[in-house]
Amino acid sequence: MPECALTRTQFHLLQTESKDLLAAQKLKVLVCAGTGCVANGSMKVYDTLKAACETRGLNVCVALREEGGENSVHLKKSGCHGFCEIGPLVSIEPLDILYTHVHPEDCEEIIEKTLLGGEVIDRLLYHKDGQAYQRRDDIPFYKLQHRIVLRDSGKSDAEEILEYIANGGYSAFEKALFEMNGEEICKTISDSGLRGRGGGGFPAGRKWESVRRNVSDVKYVVCNGDEGDPGAFMDQGVMEGNPHSVIEGMLIAGVATGATEGYIYVRAEYPLAVKRLRIAIAKAEELGLLGDNIMGSGFSFHMHINRGAGAFVCGEGSALTSSIEGKRGMPRVKPPRTVDKGLWAKPTVLNNVETYANVPQIVLNGAGWYRSVGTENSPGTKTFALTGNVVNTGLVEVPMGTTLRQVIYDIGGGIKDGKKFKAVQIGGPSGGCLTEEHLDLPLDFDSLNKVGAIIGSGGMVVMDEDTCMVEVARFFMNFTQNESCGKCVPCREGTKRMLEILERIIRNEGELEDLDTLESLANTITEASLCGLGQTACKPVLSTLKYFRNEYLAHVVDKHCPHCNGRKRHLEINPKLCRGCGKCKRNCPMEAISGELRQPHTIDVTKCIHCGACWGACPFGAIDAIEEEG
């Protein structure tokens, strides 16, 4: 057996040293380095702060082990805070100050008044209804959240493994490695009630136990970080802001099931997430927390990153494993299930980013602690990407069972421009539209299933009174049809026929029988498609037919829709709000958006089909519908 790089005793010493070093830091400045703030110029703020501090003779420390002193400032790059539209964000500890909309020209004032003088700069605080908020957790957007997965995002250095260890990181892995056996770990996860956060909601402990019981010379742990839903960025935020939580969760899954190889499948459009994961893996290997004979336990685990090319279907388990193997990403007939024959036909644990990120806290605090949050059948929390016509867009984490009203109005601040709420599309292309009558519906797996919707991976697009719901249905069907792998006839041909009908209805050329045909096709596709993506592809159409049939009738019978035909509009990107993050460009099905990274983008109105993909994807509310004269 190879000699271990880090013994258990040495790990304990490293924990103590890291905690002491973190506690000794008297002044910490954390600049948000999530994708949204980076696109908004936060790295220029970071560089300016660093240079200005050094000019004033302050000792700037950028690593945990760097020795400080009386005149030292610990400057860090944190993960995403979630409230992207008020960035760039700068957090100052232990003063408990969060500055918003920080620009390089603000840095001298921050150093002079706050870092040296201890004074709060009011104009850089978050203001709402005449009130200024100094503490992040007092801001209404954060106050009602309950953060487990996102607990360290925005509050710690996203690229420093020692800071993760100082905050308790890898303690759960050590506990699982030396104090629990595989059966006990699987039982803990089962007892916690943790269900997969990737969309299906399957009990994670049951999946792990199936792999544990399988006898095989090789087993795998795979993490789905593909996240292909338009407007979704939950997993992106976790991978960028707290990558070690995902790695630790996968390590625990490896101990539980006897797997020794792990693969993280990340879409290539997440370059910062890939970068942070690579840094995290390299540092874990350097310390000996990944590799052979970890902490002298005899357990070995090696981690790999695979970048996906952006195919939505590769979010499906068997298509994802095929893609890792170098084959075309296409689902296969089940059984056999992934737990029996997954990656390279070996037993495989496959969960998404958020699921793994929950695991360390469950192992550390126990199943009962986790069950104390959320509902009986859906314990814990769920992250949501809140986008669309809502005042506060961003990444939120709330207990399961929180209502739509609480998320949209209490956290999201309600509908933009004082308009009326109309609907919310939840669950992405595989989800459905919910209406005002559902605002007090608890957000959990079972409650949403009863009304024909799903939590999915957590995308939530809010729509106001001016939205044409037939257009919404057409957009999601267009997305699904384009992303269909084409392997099975119901999905390949059925979604194409449905899209043709929807396009005809939008042109006011549809007939009443088209509505019956849509429902019939939807039921057939749902029943006969090969994989879960095809089986849920028609939910947006069925839900809009159910709750907004009058809008279909307006197109079909009246030949006039007040929401999309009463006036002529085109979409524009507001250059003052656009941060050049590129999410709109990546989600546009017509390649109608152009622009360089970190520069304002533009929409080619001759190519735009008003599908709303950019509007749903933009975290900054930069997409405007411009009414044309005539």
What is the C-alpha to C-alpha distance for residues 330 and 27, in angstroms, rounded to an integer? 51
Q: CATH homologous superfamily for 181-371?
A: NADH-ubiquinone oxidoreductase 51kDa subunit (3.40.50.11540)
The residue that leads in pLDDT, 628 or 130, is: 130
Cα Rg of the chain (Å, integer): 25
Distances (CA, A) of 348 to 56, 263, 313, 503: 55, 10, 19, 41
Query: DSSP letters of 180-194?
Result: --HHHHHHHHHHHT-
The answer, yes or no, to whether the previous bond of 88 is cis (omega within 30 of 0) is: yes
Distances (CA, A) of 146 to 63, 172, 193, 398, 412: 29, 21, 18, 5, 15
**606: exposed, middle or buried (C-beta count within 10 Å: 0-12, 13-18, 19+)?**
exposed
Taking residue 558's Cβ as centre, other Cβ atoms within 10 Å add up to 12
Residues in the chain: 630
Angle between helix 171-179 and helix 243-257 axes, rounded to 10 deg: 10
**Lowest-pLDDT range, 47-56, 59-68, 316-325?**
59-68
- Span 395-417, pLDDT tens digits: 999 999 999 999 999 999 999 99
Which residue, 92, 146, 101, is CA-closest to 119?
Answer: 92
Ramachandran area for residue 598 (φ above 0: left; ψ -120 to 50: alpha; else beta): left
pLDDT of residue 181: 97
- The share of the chain scoring above pLDDT 70, in percent, equals 97
**67: exposed, middle or buried (C-beta count within 10 Å: 0-12, 13-18, 19+)?**
exposed
What is the C-alpha to C-alpha distance for residues 247 and 245, in angstroms, rounded to an integer? 6
pLDDT of residue 567: 46
With cut-offs at 50, 70 and 90, classify the pLDDT of residue 66: confident
381 pLDDT more than 60: yes
**315: exposed, middle or buried (C-beta count within 10 Å: 0-12, 13-18, 19+)?**
buried
What is the C-alpha to C-alpha distance for residues 500 and 69, in angstroms, rounded to an integer? 68
Longest CA–CA separation in the chain, Å: 79
Average pLDDT over every residue of 47-76:
88
Rounded to 10 degrees, the C-alpha dihedral 30/33/37/41 comes to 90
pLDDT of residue 586: 81
217 pLDDT more than 90: yes
What is the C-alpha to C-alpha distance for residues 315 and 366, in angstroms, rounded to an integer? 30
**Helices H, strands E: what count in the chain?**
25, 20
Classify residue 415 by its DSSP letter: B
Query: DSSP letters of 103-168?
Result: -GGGHHHIIIIIITT----GGGSEEETTEEE-SGGGSHHHHT---STTTTTTTSBTT-HHHHHHTT
Query: DSSP letters of 365-394?
Result: H-HHHHHTSB-SSSBSEEEEEEEESBSS-E
Query: Taking a C-beta distance cutoff of 8 angstroms, is the pair 426, 460 a contact?
Result: yes
Taking residue 105's Cβ as centre, other Cβ atoms within 10 Å add up to 9
- The share of the chain scoring above pLDDT 90, in percent, equals 75
With cut-offs at 50, 70 and 90, classify the pLDDT of residue 610: low
568 pLDDT more than 60: no
pLDDT of residue 109: 97
What is the C-alpha to C-alpha distance for residues 471 and 192, in angstroms, rounded to an integer? 41
Going 8 to 11 to 13 to 19, the CA torsion angle's sign is negative
Taking residue 369's Cβ as centre, other Cβ atoms within 10 Å add up to 14
Question: Structure tokens of 343?
Answer: 């990656």
The full set of domain ranges for the chain reads: 8-143, 181-371, 381-556, 569-627
630 pLDDT more than 50: no
Average pLDDT over every residue of 285-313:
94
Classify residue 227 by its DSSP letter: -
**Lowest-pLDDT range, 92-96, 300-304, 621-625?**
621-625
Question: Structure tokens of 518?
Answer: 């849509």
Average pLDDT over every residue of 304-311:
90
Which residue, 334, 379, 343, is CA-closest to 265?
Answer: 343
Query: Taking a C-beta distance cutoff of 8 angstroms, is the pair 502, 469 a contact?
Result: no
Q: CATH homologous superfamily for 8-143?
A: Glutaredoxin (3.40.30.10)
Q: Is 217 helix (H, G, I), strand (E, B) or coil?
A: coil
569 pLDDT more than 70: no
- Span 446-468, pLDDT tens digits: 998 888 788 887 889 999 999 99
Average pLDDT over every residue of 341-345:
96
Strand-pair category, 72-78 with 59-61: parallel
Average pLDDT over every residue of 228-236:
84
**Lowest-pLDDT range, 132-141, 256-265, 309-318?**
309-318
The answer, yes or no, to whether the previous bond of 94 is cis (omega within 30 of 0) is: yes
With cut-offs at 50, 70 and 90, classify the pLDDT of residue 229: confident
- Span 587-601, pLDDT tens digits: 787 788 999 888 899
pLDDT of residue 566: 43
Distances (CA, A) of 265 to 83, 274, 305, 339, 374: 26, 10, 6, 17, 28
Q: Which CATH class is domain 381-556?
A: alpha beta
Question: Structure tokens of 62?
Answer: 């950028």
CATH number, span 569-627 = 3.30.70.20
Strand-pair category, 302-308 with 131-133: unpaired
570 pLDDT more than 80: no
Residue-averaged pLDDT of the chain: 92
Overall pTM surpassing 0.75 (yes/no): yes
The residue that leads in pLDDT, 37 or 564, is: 37
Question: Structure tokens of 344?
Answer: 């390279």
Average pLDDT over every residue of 244-271:
96
